[in-house]
A = this chain, B = another copy of it.
Amino acid sequence: MTNGARSVDELRGELEVERTLGWLFFDIHRLLAKAFETRSKELGLTRSQWRILCVVDRVPGGQTQTQLADMTEIEKAPLGKILDRLEDGGWISRKGHPSDRRARLVYATSKIEKYMPELAAAAKATFAQTLQGMRQGEVKDLIAQLQRLKRNLGGADE
């Protein structure tokens, strides 16, 4: 902080990187969601729902909601609502934990098997579009950079 007294106009002009970079993440996030949901619309799954579903799907033995919340870094309250909708749609089921009566274990139903090809195709098409014109090495570097930013912001490392 070397600034003695900066004018408002000076401050306005100094924020170029912040203005550009910050909203790129915001915009790409929104555009990605839109691109994916357009392709998978007939299944009625939003991107967030799919994210949760993928994590549920990877652990056949079932997980508690708290474990899911930790893995996705989504708070338990909104996670519960997303699970409600997934359950309504028949994508998951919840069963009481055998030894902890507070907890409920979340499982993927067989519905995911049926629609996985469609969902995988939607995801692949979305990223083929997103990454068009980039070499594989560039993609790898980009991922590494983004993971660094995420760590810098205090995010978990996956």
The interface-forming segment of A9-17, A61-69, A96-104 is A9-17
Measured in the bound complex, the distance between the Cα atoms of B22 and A51 in whole Å is: 10
If A21-B146, A25-B25, A29-B25 touch, whether A12 touches B116 (CB-CB below 8 Å) is yes
If A21-B127, A21-B146, A152-B129 touch, whether A29 touches B31 (CB-CB below 8 Å) is no
Chain B min CB distance to A115 (Å): 10
Are B120 and A155 neighbours in the complex by a CB distance under 8 Å? Answer: no
Chain B min CB distance to A31 (Å): 4
Q: How many copies does the complex hold?
A: 2
Are B120 and A133 neighbours in the complex by a CB distance under 8 Å? Answer: no
Are B152 and A130 neighbours in the complex by a CB distance under 8 Å? Answer: yes
A147 at the interface (CB under 8 A from B): yes
A132 at the interface (CB under 8 A from B): yes
Closest to A146 in B: B24
A113 at the interface (CB under 8 A from B): yes
| Set of chain B residues within 8 Å of A35, measured between Cβ atoms | 153-154
Are A123 and B28 neighbours in the complex by a CB distance under 8 Å? Answer: no
